[in-house]
Chains A and B, each alone.
Chain A
């Protein structure tokens, strides 16, 4: 029976919220009256975020000819929406710091998310999508529902993981069977609660069922494929132990020839380590 995961967003255990700064950046980007300096000013209030974003826009991900020294300059060159999506992608890890690692290794979880984000970004660049950072953010967020499941229903989640371990079934199917919803639906509900754009919400909700995406089928198909490539490359892990099935229609929709996969894998390989050092907050030193 299919159930609505909405109840996970209520209850006694608090649902993590997005950093206030992100909401303010988002409001400023969406407000036609705000200037580049306004947006830059808000980002600059958070020194950590500023440093992270500058590191990324000066990295091989962009390879601009000259160094970008200030956030205002970054907004001008990279674009306000792109920088907003990058801010989202790099802020979301913080939301879940201090989480119990009983059921999930957080480092491995974020490695999978970053891998998927990088892969989606590369596929989007191949398609010449105008805002590749939207894809990066979607990749970072695609499995986030799992974290909420681990927080809110740890015992049932453990049972589902154990069942997969012994039967070899796919975790997202077991979730659906045991809970009546999967992590994708939970993730979508969480993004809605966070008031994130509908495009991100649909992509996350439908990443295992791309045919269910009616408004953003291309974006959804890209994340669906990026998730599969990330699993095949075994970059981190979010709980699923094998490569999820590929939807042939989603594959056709992204219009990437199979021969481009080898180039994609090579690029992901080259960018993955760099991306991790840029995004993962240095907590161990």
Chain B
């Protein structure tokens, strides 16, 4: 089980933990199967991630050529060299930047 970002959640996934909105109110309980409607509700309520049974974020991240990914990782590290790369937000932004660069390199979407 692991935290999966909203964009990677799919109908049919089973919750491993409660989904709470920001004030702490429980929207869905563990064990519930996610439906399309739930995803809409998550978006509207600002839910950004959920605990899913049997899946980790690595599983749902699209597979990219390791060489391309490594090149992208190097470029991203260079771009972030003045930042504190231990900070949780920086780590996440660095991960997203690496993915974007790699997708762009693989001819995917991106700008």
Q: A: which residues have CB within 8 A of B? A: 126, 168, 170, 225, 228-229, 231-235, 242-246, 248, 251, 257-263, 265-266, 269, 272-273
Q: Which of A231, A258, A263, A272 contacts B89 (CB 8 A)?
A: A258
B84 at the interface (CB under 8 A from A): yes
- The total number of A-B Cβ pairs within 8 Å is 79
Distance of A116 from chain B, by nearest CB (Å): 14
Is B93 a contact of A259 with CB atoms below 8 Å? no
Verify A242–B7 contact, CB threshold 8 A.
no
* Interface hub of A243, A246, A272 (most chain B Cβ within 10 A): A243
User: In this assembly, does B27 line the interface, its C-beta being within 8 Å of a C-beta of chain A?
Assistant: no
Q: Does B23 reach chain A (CB closer than 8 Å)?
A: no
Q: Which residues of B contact A (CB under 8 A)?
A: 3, 5-7, 46, 48-49, 78-84, 87-94, 96-97, 100, 109-111
Selected from A126, A225, A234, A246, the residue in CB contact (under 8 A) with B79 is A234
DSSP class of A's interface residues: helix, strand, loop or mixed? Answer: helix
Q: Given A235-B111, A269-B111, are A261 and B92 neighbors across the interface (CB < 8 Å)?
A: yes
**Contact in complex: A246, B46 (CB < 8 Å):** no
Which A residues are in CB contact (< 8 Å) with B48? 257, 259-260, 262-263
Is B3's CB under 8 angstroms from A265's CB?
A: no
A177 to chain B, nearest CB (A): 15
Residues B80 and A243 in contact, CB atoms below 8 Å apart: yes
Provide 18 A-B residue pairs closer than 8 Å at the C-beta atoms, listed in order of the A residue.
A225-B89, A228-B83, A232-B97, A233-B97, A242-B78, A242-B81, A244-B82, A244-B83, A246-B84, A248-B87, A251-B89, A258-B92, A261-B93, A262-B6, A262-B7, A262-B48, A262-B92, A265-B100
For the complex, give the distance between the alpha carbons of A245 and B109 in Å.
27
Given A232-B93, A232-B97, A272 and B88 contact (CB-CB distance below 8 Å): no
